Copies of this chain bind each other. A is one copy, B any other.
Amino acid sequence: MNRIINDPDLVVEDAIEGYVVAHPEFFEKTDNSRVLKYSGSEKKGKVGIITGGGSGHEPAFLGYVGKNMVDAVAIGEIFSSPTAGAFLDAMKAADSGAGVACLYGNYAGDNMNVKMAIKKATAAGITVKTVVANDDVASAPASEKEKRRGVAGEILMWKIGGAAAAEGYDLDGVIAAAQKAINNCRSIGVGLSSCTIPAVGKPNFHIEKGTMELGIGHHGEPGIKVVPIETAKEMAETMLHPIMEEGLFEPGSEVVVLVSGLGATPVMELYIYYAEVERLLKAKNVKIHRCYVGNYFTSLEMMGVTLSVMKLDAELKKLIDIPARSLGLVQE
């Protein structure tokens, strides 16, 4: 795999350098080289929103640091959890006295490190509460929802949590809104090709030409099944089916749809796919209030697409519509 890098072991450091120098309007360095904070933060007494995760998913996670979004981010190695120290320093960077909402994805490393960080933050007098995203329906059955991974639905959780904090919600209110966002969200992905971690130098896994893997994870975690590649229309049906089976999106409901490429998927294909999703939801009398289509949560240069659907109530609808500004999401 030909790449645009310097040292394969320093891609995260080198990329952070680029983000900071390109976007002083979003990023401010902290004493921890793996923690960036929002440079435009002004509001004392606002609940701080933090997240963190492995690199290679750009614009996630750091691309959602910004106005009415995430206040500080802990940055891990490619596809690896940030350290407990990075989570702790992100909590410290985001706290302005009203506590910190740590909104992250359900992965073993992140769970462990967040837990350790909270212990130390609490000792330092910072109140931290968490929401653990588990929107990926392919990663465990509904009866074991606590085992499900967090995927692109995390972006909607950050959007809702960030908007709630901006609106002056207290910590419990922010946590409740973010938790509702992820409770109301279901996601699934398909992988069409693999990706290569620079320091490893060979593909992370393998997908045969002419096949696709339904339910693949953001790091190539095995999906539900490998099937012959489908048309965009069939893919939309195949992916929407397990989402609708959750029983959440009844006729008449209003939703947000997020379609994300996994890195190498041409933008035009994401829109071909989105048109099919829109048709299917319309036929089920589910109204799309707002959509996001693009490379929002990637896996290096993987080919594929993820679909996330979040059901709205009056509160979520108000919060999703609040303007936001970050590298990965600009909304006026």
Contact = CB atoms under 8 A, between A and B. Distances in A.
Interface of A: 1-7, 11-12, 14-15, 17-19, 21-22, 55-56, 58-59, 63, 192-193, 207, 209-212, 229, 231-233, 235, 263-276, 278, 291, 293, 295, 298, 300-301, 303, 305, 325, 330, 332
Given A263-B264, A263-B266, A267-B58, A212 B2 contact: yes
What's the dominant secondary structure at chain A's contact region?
mixed
Contacts of A274: 18, 21-22
B272 A6 contact: yes
Given A15-B272, A56-B266, 18 more contacts: A1-B209, A2-B303, A3-B229, A4-B192, A5-B232, A6-B232, A15-B269, A18-B274, A19-B271, A21-B278, A22-B293, A58-B271, A63-B267, A263-B266, A266-B301, A295-B295, A325-B332, A330-B332
A1 B4 CA distance: 22
Contacts of A231: 5-7
B4 A269 contact: yes
How many identical chains are in the complex?
Answer: 2
Contacts of A271: 14-15, 17-19, 22, 58
Given A17-B275, A278-B21, A293-B18, A301 B264 contact: yes
Nearest to A293: B22
Nearest to A292: B22
Nearest to A211: B2
B21 A275 contact: yes
Contacts of A63: 267
Q: List the 6 shortest-distance A-B pairs measured between CB atoms, nearest first.
A: A18-B271, A264-B264, A18-B275, A2-B192, A58-B267, A15-B268
Nearest to A207: B2
B192 A267 contact: no
Given A232-B14, A275-B18, A267 B295 contact: yes
Contact of A5 (B210, B272, B293, B330): B272
Contacts of A235: 4
A260 to B, nearest CB: 12
A267 B300 CA distance: 8
A289 to B, nearest CB: 13
